[in-house]
Amino acid sequence: MSKLIIKKGMTTEQRLRAIKKAADRFNKKIGKSRKVRRTETSFMDRKYDGDNINAWTDAPQYAEKYYGERYRDTVSHDNDWN
């Protein structure tokens, strides 16, 4: 929960000061999380070349292996549709 307390009787300057203080705290917190994210994932940047390492590069063979007849029926219907 935020500790930003703006009361009814505050002046505009006091409200703006309270908002700026909360914004500074928030930005400091975000900056810390960015630093942590950079240090925790830097090892991935060296290995990641933009390809999904979990993706099958031979999708038709995968479908044939794991789905067999259902895959063939679906493909035949797809071809009839066009």
| DSSP type of residue 50 | S
Note whether residue 7 is domain-resident.
Answer: no
Query: Which own/partner pairs from 63-66 qualify as long-range (CB within 8 Å, at least 24 positions apart)?
Result: none
Please give the tally of structural domains in the chain.
Answer: 1
Note whether residue 2 is domain-resident.
Answer: no
CA distance 22 to 49: 39
Note whether residue 6 is domain-resident.
Answer: no
Note whether residue 69 is domain-resident.
Answer: yes
Query: What are 24's two structure tokens?
Result: 């500074």
* This prediction's pTM: 0.40
Note whether residue 1 is domain-resident.
Answer: no
Q: Give the structural domain span for 24.
A: 12-48+56-81
- In contact, 28 and 48? CB cutoff 8 Å: no
Note whether residue 42 is domain-resident.
Answer: yes
Kindly report, residue by residue over 13-38, the tens digit of the pLDDT: 999 999 999 899 888 888 887 777 66
Note whether residue 3 is domain-resident.
Answer: no
Who has greater pLDDT, 61 or 79? 61
pLDDT value of position 80: 64
